[in-house]
């Protein structure tokens, strides 16, 4: 078979390819937003607490000593609700893939917990502490879809071998039934089941990503880590793959950690979204809150780049907020707030004290000393008293003892009310 074009036979939307060649077009061909299916009372499928991945940096020469660390992920906490999906967003290099790889235990974490299960009455297990052997049953439950459909499939194996391999490794179906299951899966992801004996090179990018999805589904996972699953695809194909993932999520009740580098794609998929910057979560909230009332300057800048008319609601402005400078190195991140070297609002306290990820609403947390809607950021740091410092960030005995704000996943029933500057509850 000759190489299949991405435009056919998959291309469906009645928009020309030229029109589709922008992120804006993506908004038109996606299905309506996935309904919010967050049940705040249901136990999560995955609970990540204070997760860290510091890669050692070695000196050159014969005796290779550790001379520093890449703080790729540095104290990240979140929950992935059952059957729901959490979006993880941030610029390239902020630690998204590392987080995904930790959850699938492709990396051994430097610290923190990753409690999996418990949503179905079973006891939650900390994936961070399991041996390779202990991980084996959970490797079935937690699968990953990779960003690049060209490098993630072995070019020398047929599609049948690629999709069927996990079935053989885990011995979940008898050998003579593997082909049936492979064909069933190819059909589920919208590929011709008769094409099982073809090679990846005979498929288009979108079709290859469908093969990657079929492989991830093979063992009936409970959680899928989708690491920028559509970034490498043409915009018209992106929409189809996202819609497929959304259908699969509903049909098989799979929870997703959906990683993306911008907020446009995630908006359609995830009822809850976390924004990462330089190894940390800077804001996390339900979709409605995050997109209409972001309180962190970084989220506001990212959102100003989303070409969606509804973003006019964000502070009543649509012009793009351009961030100055480059993302600093995670080997030597800025003191205090890591975003301060690029933040238009940074003040003295920002360099001295790290802002805690403070809960400021029922399902809204933000890590900024001056949290507020665009144009309505407070003049004085709201965090100073909580942290036992003065407005410049110096220790202040008069401010009283620092409150233990912790770094817990999920939300409390009480939170910090920004208007009244006190704790409030539902
Ligand atoms: N295996 C590794 N060894 C050393 N540094 C790494 C490794 N993997 C990623 N990094 C570094 O960790 C940071 C986060 O990377 P990554 O998780 O891939 O970010 P993202 O997926 O958000 O683009 C980057 O600075 C990257 O260079
Ligand atoms: S803490 Fe300071 S530097 Fe960090 S985001 Fe808030 S205002 Fe900007
Ligand atoms: Mg990545």
Residues 105 and 197 in one domain: yes
Ligand 2 atom index nearest CA of 355: 1
The pLDDT, as a whole number, for residue 41 is: 67
Tell me the CA distances in angstroms from 60 to 54, 64, 66, 67, 305, one per residue in order. 19, 6, 10, 10, 41
In 10 A of CB 100, how many CB atoms?
Answer: 23
Q: Which of 274, 296, 318 is the last residue of a domain?
A: 274
Q: What is the pLDDT of residues 371-425, one digit of tens each?
A: 999 999 999 999 999 999 999 999 988 877 778 888 999 999 999 999 998 888 7
Domain identity same for 131 and 245: yes
Residue 6: what pLDDT? 39
Bridge partner list, 276: 281
In-domain check, residue 316: no
Contacts of 8 (CB under 8 A, 6+ apart): none
Question: pLDDT, tens digit, for every residue of 269-322?
Answer: 899 999 999 999 999 999 999 999 999 999 999 998 877 645 544 555 567 888
Residue 166 lies in a domain: yes
Residue 379, by phi and psi: left (phi above 0), alpha (psi -120 to 50) or beta?
Answer: alpha
Same domain, 111 and 242: yes
Domain that holds residue 382: 345-426
In a domain, 213, yes or no: yes
Structure-token match 């360099």, residue found: 351
List the residue whose alpha carbon is closest to atom 21 of ligand 1: 97
- The count of domains in the chain is 2
pLDDT for the residue 322:
85
Tell me the CA–centroid distance for residue 303 and ligand 1, in Å: 24
CATH of residue 203:
3.40.50.300
Least confident residue range of 68-77, 87-96, 161-170, 303-312: 303-312
Q: Rounded to whole angstroms, how far apart are CA atoms 387 and 92?
A: 31
Domain end position, chosen among 229, 256, 274: 274
Asked if residue 10 has pLDDT above 50, the reply is: no
The reply to whether ligand 1 has any atom less than 6 angstroms from the CB of 97 is yes
How much is the pTM? 0.90
Residues in the chain: 426
Residue 119 has pLDDT above 70, yes or no: no
Asked whether the predicted pLDDT for residue 340 surpasses 60, the reply is yes
> Which ligand is the nearest neighbour of the Cα of 96?
1
In the chain, the percentage of residues whose pLDDT exceeds 70 is 87
- pLDDT at residue 26 in the model: 52
Containing 299, the helix (H) or strand (E) segment is: helix 297-303
17 pLDDT more than 70: no
Ligand 1 atom closest to the CA of 279, numbered from 1: 14
Domain boundary among 239, 274, 309: 274
Distance of CA 262 to CAs 13, 89, 267, 286, Å? 23, 6, 9, 16
Asked whether residue 75 is assigned to any structural domain, the reply reads: yes
Least confident among 117-131, 150-164, 357-371: 117-131
* Peptide bond just before 330 cis, omega within 30 deg: no
Rounded Cα distance between 157 and 142, Å, is: 23
Do 364 and 270 fall into the same domain?
no
Average pLDDT over residues 5-18: 36
11, pLDDT greater than 60 = no
Domain assignment present for residue 419? The answer is: yes
**Closest ligand to the CA of 280:** 1
């Amino acid at each position: 078979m000759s190489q299949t074009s991405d435009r056919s036979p998959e291309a469906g939307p009645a928009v020309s390819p030229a029109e589709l060649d922008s992120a804006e077009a993506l908004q038109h061909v996606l299905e309506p937003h996935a309904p919010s299916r967050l049940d705040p009372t249901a136990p999560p499928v995955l609970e990540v607490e204070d997760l860290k991945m510091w890669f050692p940096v070695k000196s050159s020469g014969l005796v290779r000593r550790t001379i520093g660390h890449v703080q790729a992920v540095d104290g990240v906490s979140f929950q992935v609700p059952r059957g729901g999906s959490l979006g993880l967003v941030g610029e390239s290099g902020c630690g998204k893939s590392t987080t995904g790889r930790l959850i699938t235990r492709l990396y051994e974490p430097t610290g923190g917990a990753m409690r999996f299960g418990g949503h179905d009455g079973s006891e939650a297990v900390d994936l961070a502490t399991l041996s390779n052997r202990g991980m084996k049953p959970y490797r079935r439950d937690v699968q990953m879809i990779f960003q690049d459909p060209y490098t993630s499939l072995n070019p020398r194996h047929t599609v049948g071998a690629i999709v069927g391999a996990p079935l053989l490794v885990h011995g979940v179906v008898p050998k003579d039934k593997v082909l049936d299951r492979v064909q069933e899966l190819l059909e589920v992801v919208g590929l011709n089941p008769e094409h099982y004996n073809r090679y990846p090179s005979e498929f288009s990018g979108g079709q290859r990503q469908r093969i990657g999805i079929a492989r991830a589904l093979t063992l009936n996972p409970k959680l899928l880590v989708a690491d920028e699953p559509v970034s490498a695809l043409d915009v018209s194909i992106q929409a189809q793959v996202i819609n497929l993932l959304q259908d699969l999520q509903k049909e098989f009740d799979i929870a997703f950690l959906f990683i993306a580098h911008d907020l446009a794609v995630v908006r359609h998929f995830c009822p809850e979204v976390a924004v990462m910057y330089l190894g940390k979560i800077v804001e996390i909230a339900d979709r409605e809150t995050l997109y209409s009332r972001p309180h962190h300057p970084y989220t506001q800048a990212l959102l100003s780049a989303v070409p969606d008319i509804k973003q006019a609601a964000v502070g009543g402005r649509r012009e793009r907020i351009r961030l100055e400078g480059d993302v600093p190195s995670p080997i030597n991140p800025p003191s205090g707030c890591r975003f301060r070297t690029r933040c238009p609002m940074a003040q003295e306290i920002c360099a001295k004290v790290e802002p805690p990820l403070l809960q400021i609403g029922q399902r809204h947390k933000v890590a900024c000393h001056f949290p507020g809607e665009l144009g309505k950021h407070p003049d004085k740091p709201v965090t100073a008293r909580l942290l036992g410092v003065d407005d410049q960030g110096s220790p202040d005995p008069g401010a009283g003892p620092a409150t233990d704000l912790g770094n817990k996943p999920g939300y409390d029933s009480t939170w910090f009310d920004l208007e009244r500057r006190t704790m409030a509850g539902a």
